Amino acid sequence: MASRKLSDLVGTMEARAEALVAKCDMAGIDLLIYCTLRSFEEQARLYRQPKSADQIHAMADKLRNVYMRPDLGEILLSVGPQSGPKVTNAAPGMSAHNYGLAFDCVPLVNGKAQWSSKAPEWQEVGRLGQSLGLEWAGSWTSFREYPHFQELGFTWRQRILMG
């Protein structure tokens, strides 16, 4: 299971996550950070939902042969079949969560998570996060992931090759 501990975030990410919670609190928004560091194994389990065997094997081959990470290809194959809805496009090693450089959060209203992107709190949470120098996936153009914040300029391609 992925960590919720802010102390698992690296570099300035822990301080920025704490600052975002504090800024949201000052704005009257209760913010829950529910995912920080995610192991390669957990990433593999999430990635496999609901991928076909062909898709999984193709990605394992890519991890081994293109990114020179046979360890990650083996992890992807070893976690076994997974069921559930699509959660991520990122295979193990391809997420900022794998390096302690991202967190997922959700605003709470009267103790209830506001998952809908139409919830008015999201725009304020995103604006506040960006004001702290965080990259907010709610402003991405190819797809949006409102709960996700990461280190500005993070590129998994550089990290995955470091081994």
Q: Where in the chain is the domain with CATH 3.30.1380.10?
A: 6-38+96-160
Residue count (the chain):
163
Cα gap 46→56, rounded to integer Å: 12
Q: What pTM does this model have? A: 0.94
The DSSP secondary-structure symbol of 117 reads T
Percent of the chain with pLDDT over 90: 91
pLDDT at 101: 97
Q: Could you say which residues of the chain have pLDDT below 70?
A: none
Rounded to the nearest 5 percent, the helix, strand and coil shares of the chain are: 45, 15, 40
pLDDT at 162: 83
Adjacent-strand bridge partners of 106: 32
- Looking at domain 6-38+96-160, its CATH architecture is 2-Layer Sandwich (3.30)
Cα gap 47→36, rounded to integer Å: 17
pLDDT at 161: 85
